[in-house]
Amino acid sequence: MAAAKKPRRSQQWFGRDGKMGFIYRSWVKNRGIPHDQFDGRPVIGICNTYSELTPCNSHFRTLAEHVKTGVWEAGGFPLEFPVMSLGETLLRPTAMLYRNLASMDVEESIRGNPIDGVVLLMGCDKTTPALLMGAASVDIPTVGVSGGPMLSGWYRGERIGSGTNTFSLSEDLRAGKITQDEYHEAESCMHRSHGHCMTMGTASTMASMVEALGVGLPGNAAYPAVDARRNVLARHAGRRIVELVKEDTPLSKIITRAAFENAIRVNAAIGGSTNAVIHLIAIARRIGVKLNLEDWDKLGRDVHTLVNLMPNGKFLMEDFCYAGGLPVVIRELGEQGLLKKDALTANGKSIWENNKDAENFNTDVIMPFKKPFKKNTGIAVLRGNLCPDGAIIKPSAATPKLMKHKGKAVVFENIEDFHSRIDDPKLPVDANSVLVLKNCGPKGYPGMAEVGNMPLPERILKKGITDMVRISDARMSGTAYGTVVLHTAPEAALGGPLALVQDGDMIELDVSKRKLELLVSEKELAKRRKAWKPPKPPMQRGYWKLYVDHVNQACDGADLDFLVGKSGAGVPRDNH
Ligand code: FES
Ligand code: MG
């Protein structure tokens, strides 16, 4: 006798008799839902991060409609719901502080509702990891749909990219190379369509991770937000999630250890954001896959950067799309033996089946593995007495000659100290100095803001110098560049060795040896450690307190300690 078919999760609500069935169905009918929609067909949640306060996701109402059309077409019943949205450019003190909060919203919204499968609408940086983390902790069938990048910025005949040129134009203004009016003009030219940052920043990186992990459909990374194919992709996602529910394929069958290994290698090949390190570790630990910093170093080590995109190169996501997009990169990795080819993806095929025939239409934008854009450029994980639990650097965005460097520390105790003194003519700084910024980690800022790529002192910029070694416990924007050591752990606010650095100390960085050393004797450091006092947290109640009390260090994904892992999809009780 065949095993009895497992009743659909949503039927625990909609399939009921008596009072509870009435309660669960009747209110849903209030906008014109016929009774037959509750007959056991797959109920699909559409998790929407639409918000006008998240400009990158401001087209998500339309995107959700296309997903719904696909769900109806496949015989499912779509129900859209909002979750906390995190806008990178408006939210203070940093959207990262709220990534974990949003992930709780997502997790509880999925689990607490009659949903058999979910489509995640994600765009701006933190919305992607927040939704994947939340969904991973429930582990029902899931498809990710990214919102897509904006069209290229164009200013006076040149491409200008989100973030990357915000930083360079700001430095040009400070160095007196452009006027205030020109600066404002560029501001209007940079972001001129719906979509997220169109450099290979964190949003484009995470959209690529969605595709590389297999949780999104092929093409997810690069179709511009306003390209009709983005809407088609959303519609296909709507159709496909219904099938995934029928096939009973939970998220954990897709985002396996193999999928994460693929994603790490893809990140190296696209010269992706350092933020992906934290986010992927956090997502993996939710779903129960073991992933750590060493995996990043090991797996990315032999991978070359293939794409010539800002912030590492000169093109933008629109160019990447027309060149063939992420499928070309995945094919190149597969041909080099750098892909777990059997990893299952959301469309039911393996990652190799999806990408093996991808054509490259522009080898200036996507360079072949044999003639790469930059060599051996995966994320480098540094160790040493300054970062016993690791620190990272993105070699593709760094200056080659600074990757082996010894210099005197110029120390800033916190971000306010940095802002107040960086342009002080008395600051003892030259191009060989190492800028050190403390107390910007997960607990210290709090939320580990993107301030690690500290702007250089004005008088150094005026000499035409554009890069210096910088070290902090902060993150940096995925659109940023420079020889910037990030995520130093343990962080200064926790009393990590970074807290003990003083002006004039010698620091040695050697990326090829994966080394970061504070050249101060252990005896002296012990003395300083004894005198160290933790900084006072800026807020002592509410979510900020919960966050500071429970946040893990960057090397562990900066998740809240009690959110690591999953609780599954079960809910023990009815609501009335
Ligand atoms: Fe939203 Fe960059 S600000 S993706
Ligand atoms: Mg950012």
Cα(334) to ligand 1 centroid in Å equals 30
Q: In this structure, which residue's CA is closest to atom 2 in ligand 1?
A: 197
Cα(187) to ligand 1 centroid in Å equals 14
Domain 41-151+193-355 CATH superfamily: Response regulator (3.40.50.2300)
Question: Across the chain, which distance is largest between two alpha carbons, in Å?
Answer: 85
Core vs surface per residue 193-213: b (16+ CB within 10 A) or e: bbbbbbbbbbbbbbbbbbbbb
126 CB within 6 A, ligand 1: no
Cα(480) to ligand 2 centroid in Å equals 9
pTM (two decimals): 0.97
125 CB within 6 A, ligand 1: yes
Are 516 and 391 a contacting pair, CB within 8 Å? yes
- As given in the structure block, the two tokens for residue 266 are 């893809």
Query: Residue 293 and residue 363: Cα distance in Å, rounded?
Result: 32
H/E stretch holding 44 reads strand 43-48
Give the Cβ contact number of residue 185 at 10 Å: 14
Core vs surface per residue 224-246: b (16+ CB within 10 A) or e: bbebeebbebbbbbbbbbbbbbb
Assess whether the previous peptide bond of 446 is cis (omega < 30° from 0). Answer: yes
Are 561 and 550 a contacting pair, CB within 8 Å? yes
Task: Please spell the DSSP secondary structure of 278-333, one letter per residue.
Answer: HHHHHHHHHHT----HHHHHHHHTTPPB-B-BTTTSSB-HHHHHHHT-HHHHHHHH
Q: In this structure, which residue's CA is closest to atom 3 in ligand 1?
A: 88
Q: Name the residue with higher pLDDT: 465 or 377.
A: 465
- Segment 183-201 shows an average pLDDT of 97
Cα(273) to ligand 2 centroid in Å equals 9
Residue 320's alpha-carbon distances to 87, 179, 215, 383, 511, in angstroms, are 24, 31, 20, 34, 29
132 CB within 6 A, ligand 1: no
- pLDDT score of 393 more than 60: yes
Q: What angle do CA 243, 248, 252 make, to 5 degrees?
A: 110
Ligand nearest to the CA of 279: 2
Cα atoms found within 13 Å of the Cα of residue 55, Cβ hemisphere only: 11
Query: Residue 428 and residue 477: Cα distance in Å, rounded?
Result: 27
Cα(147) to ligand 1 centroid in Å equals 11
Q: What angle do CA 202, 101, 139 make, to 5 degrees?
A: 80
Q: Which atom of ligand 1 is nearest to the CA of 123?
A: 4
110 CB within 6 A, ligand 1: no
Phi first, then psi, for residue 535 (nearest 5°) are -70, 155
Q: What is the pLDDT of residues 5-24, one digit of tens each?
A: 778 999 999 999 999 999 99
95 CB within 6 A, ligand 1: no
Q: Which atom of ligand 1 is nearest to the CA of 204?
A: 4
Tell me the pLDDT band of 302, cut-offs 50, 70 and 90: confident
Pocket mutation for ligand 1, best pick of 90, 124, 146, 476 (most atoms within 8 Å of C-beta): 124
CA 530 from centre of chain: 37
Q: What is the pLDDT of residues 534-544, one digit of tens each?
A: 999 888 999 99
Pocket mutation for ligand 1, best pick of 50, 196, 206 (most atoms within 8 Å of C-beta): 196
Q: What is the pLDDT of residues 267-279, one digit of tens each?
A: 999 999 999 999 9
- pLDDT score of 83 more than 60: yes
The amino acid present at 340, given as its one-letter code, is: K
Query: Residue 270 and residue 281: Cα distance in Å, rounded?
Result: 18
Question: Is 164 strand, coil or helix?
Answer: helix
- Segment 430-444 shows an average pLDDT of 98
Q: In this structure, which residue's CA is closest to atom 1 in ligand 1?
A: 124
Query: Residue 220 and residue 205: Cα distance in Å, rounded?
Result: 11
* pLDDT given for residue 377 in this prediction: 84
What angle do the packed helices 60-73 and 228-247 form, to 10 degrees? 40
Query: Residue 10 and residue 43: Cα distance in Å, rounded?
Result: 6
- pLDDT score of 456 more than 70: yes
Cα(177) to ligand 2 centroid in Å equals 26
> What are 414-422's contacts with CB under 8 Å, separation 24+?
414/438, 414/439, 414/440, 414/444, 414/535, 415/439, 415/440, 415/445, 415/449, 415/451, 418/451, 418/454, 422/454, 422/455, 422/457, 422/458
- Segment 55-65 shows an average pLDDT of 98
Are 80 and 60 a contacting pair, CB within 8 Å? no
* pLDDT given for residue 442 in this prediction: 98
265 CB within 6 A, ligand 1: no
In the block, tokens 């993150």 appear at: 475
Specify burial of residue 379 (Cβ count, 10 A radius: 0-12, 13-18, 19+).
Answer: buried
Task: Please spell the DSSP secondary structure of 212-279, one letter per residue.
Answer: HHTSB-TTTTTS-TTSHHHHHHHHHHHHHHHHHHHHT--GGGTS-HHHHHHHHHHHHHHT--THHHHH
Ligand nearest to the CA of 127: 1
Q: What is the pLDDT of residues 503-512, one digit of tens each?
A: 999 999 999 9
In this prediction, what percent of the chain has a pLDDT beyond 70? 99
Q: Which atom of ligand 1 is nearest to the CA of 163?
A: 2
Residue 395's alpha-carbon distances to 159, 306, 315, 477, 500, in angstroms, are 23, 14, 18, 15, 26
H/E stretch holding 204 reads helix 202-213
Are 137 and 286 a contacting pair, CB within 8 Å? yes
- pLDDT score of 376 more than 90: no
346 CB within 6 A, ligand 1: no
Q: Which atom of ligand 1 is nearest to the CA of 201?
A: 2
56 CB within 6 A, ligand 1: yes
Cα(482) to ligand 2 centroid in Å equals 15
89 CB within 6 A, ligand 1: yes
- Segment 50-77 shows an average pLDDT of 98
196 CB within 6 A, ligand 1: yes
Pocket mutation for ligand 1, best pick of 125, 146, 167, 208 (most atoms within 8 Å of C-beta): 125
Q: What is the pLDDT of residues 28-50, one digit of tens each?
A: 999 999 999 999 999 999 999 99
* pLDDT given for residue 4 in this prediction: 61
Determine which of 172-176, 447-451, 520-524 has the lowest per-residue pLDDT on average: 172-176
Give the Cβ contact number of residue 567 at 10 Å: 13
Cα(205) to ligand 2 centroid in Å equals 11
Delimit the domains of the chain by residue range. Answer: 41-151+193-355, 380-540+547-554
Residue 252's contacts (CB-CB under 8 Å, 6 or more residues apart) are 136, 139, 287, 288
* pLDDT given for residue 2 in this prediction: 53
Q: What is the pLDDT of residues 524-536, one digit of tens each?
A: 999 999 999 999 9
Query: Residue 91 and residue 392: Cα distance in Å, rounded?
Result: 25
Pocket mutation for ligand 1, best pick of 191, 197, 209 (most atoms within 8 Å of C-beta): 197
CATH architecture of 380-540+547-554: 3-Layer(bba) Sandwich (3.50)
201 CB within 6 A, ligand 1: yes
Query: Residue 302 and residue 305: Cα distance in Å, rounded?
Result: 10
Q: What is the pLDDT of residues 143-173, one digit of tens each?
A: 999 999 999 999 999 999 999 999 999 999 9
517 CB within 6 A, ligand 1: no
Query: Residue 98 and residue 51: Cα distance in Å, rounded?
Result: 15
Q: What is the pLDDT of residues 346-373, one digit of tens each?
A: 999 999 999 999 999 999 999 999 999 9
Tell me the pLDDT band of 557, cut-offs 50, 70 and 90: very high
Name the average pLDDT for the chain: 97
